[in-house]
Structure 1
Amino acid sequence: MNPPDGGVADELPGVAPRLRDLRRSRGLTLETAAQRAGLSPAHLSRLETGRRQPSLPMLLGLARIYGTTVSELLGETPPERDAIIRGGKFEGAEADGWMYQQAGGSGRAMQALRVRVPQAAQSDLVRVHPGEEWLYVLAGHLRVWLGETVHDLAPGDSAHFDSLTPHRITAVDRDGAELLFVHTLLLSPAAELCLGSGIHRR
């Protein structure tokens, strides 16, 4: 028999308690979570008690708010992801003068890259976006502008900063610089954040 407001309680078994548990574990009230998801508190309450089944857009919105995936909301076990990325010949992509190669797994909250920066590449390009960035100089010398402050980095030096700080990066040496680069992937791929647009494979 269907619940009184038209949902089918057994279509997505287990979703209702997971929605409630996730909201509580994130320290969110029903009203706050509903507001962020664009729902009424009454509607979210019905989802959490199984009296209403969520649509896919609702699941996507709630997963984003709770910092999880739709698969987790549905109780699915994600496939195993390879944690090891083997080294080898540098074969990457080009974006606005930078060469970069994936150095971490996909589908993560952070993206790790191995990057080669030519001298003066993007020397006048200032970036501001949500998230954090961390870089570690492997070879060459790097110049990093963070707001009004300029830092010269040598091999072994690193920088970790809030990406909302206006920043730009350039290599000082004629032969450029090579670095490890990690950033939180919130809005766009790396090419649209700090590496610029216009990616070309080589």
Structure 2
Amino acid sequence: MPSDRPAPGGATAGEPPGVGPRLYELRRAHGLTLEAAARRVGLSPAHLSRLETARRQPSLPMLLTLARTYGTTVSELLGEAPPEREPVIRAARARDTEADGWVYREAGGSGRAMQALRVRVPAGGAQRDLVRVHPGEELLYVLRGELRLGLGDAEHLLAPEDSAHFDSRTPHRLSAATADGVELLFVHTLLRSGAAELCLGGAGRDGAGHRPVRAPGQGS
């Protein structure tokens, strides 16, 4: 049975330095035994032990699997310093993206734990009947017009400068309550995973990257 403690081992040629110790530290930080972690990533305990002790070089697919399992990135596993992120987002560089009549503009930086968007929602439109459910939290702040927010069994009318902050696992539906639409600041948390980037207008998802569900009584 392989030991849970990494033994000294020399890195093979071309192996990124320090990957083994980082894998060991991440596993321990998650409170996983060697056997439990090996089951999650689909390896034998002996194979994972060889990776942690630098006796085996992980392939890129294995690095991706390990990074997702431990909630990190391949770059962090390899010890690469993340690039400096620009804290200021200039309006002149922002670009609009449209999906089903909704218009989105990035209001925050990428690669963060939160996604911020400025959103224009038209009156009516294809998305008004979509009920959204997704992990995390959501913050809405109305800039112009009025927003109708269905949250669980309740419905709220938000005027300019009103806001709502809620657990986005609660079924919610957004629509404009004014004839010329509504504009709002939309912030939601992102899960750290290989698919954490926002998907604007992606197939099978609504324009804000959520999994849409038709409201009861609505057609598919």
Contact 2:104–2:117 (CA under 8 A) maintained in structure 1: yes
SS in 2 for 1:164: coil
1:1-150 paired onto structure 2 within 5 Å: 8=12, 11-88=15-92, 91-121=95-125, 122-150=127-155
Q: For residues 108 and 89 of structure 1, what CA distance do their matches in structure 2 show?
A: 19
Unaligned runs of 5+ in 1: 1-6, 198-202
CA spacing shift, 1:91–1:57, aligned 2, 3 Å: closer
CA spacing shift, 1:101–1:45, aligned 2, 3 Å: same
1:160-199 paired onto structure 2 within 5 Å: 160-186=165-191, 187=195, 189-192=199-202, 193-195=205-207
CA spacing shift, 1:154–1:148, aligned 2, 3 Å: same
Displacement of 1:88 = 4.9
Q: For residues 32 and 180 of structure 1, what CA distance do their matches in structure 2 show?
A: 42
CA spacing shift, 1:33–1:190, aligned 2, 3 Å: farther
Contact 2:99–2:200 (CA under 8 A) maintained in structure 1: no
Displacement of 1:10 = 6.3
Q: For residues 160 and 166 of structure 2, what CA distance do their matches in structure 1 show?
A: 18
CA spacing shift, 1:177–1:67, aligned 2, 3 Å: same
Contact 1:16–1:50 (CA under 8 A) maintained in structure 2: yes
Displacement of 1:85 = 0.6
Alignment partner, residue 4 of structure 1: none
Aligned residues with identical type, % of pairs: 68
Normalising by structure 2, we get a TM-score of: 0.76
Normalising by structure 1, we get a TM-score of: 0.82
Alignment counterpart, residue 157 of structure 1, candidates 158, 162, 177? 162
Moved segments of 4+, more than 4 Å:
88-91
Displacement of 1:196 = 6.4
Alignment partner, residue 200 of structure 1: none
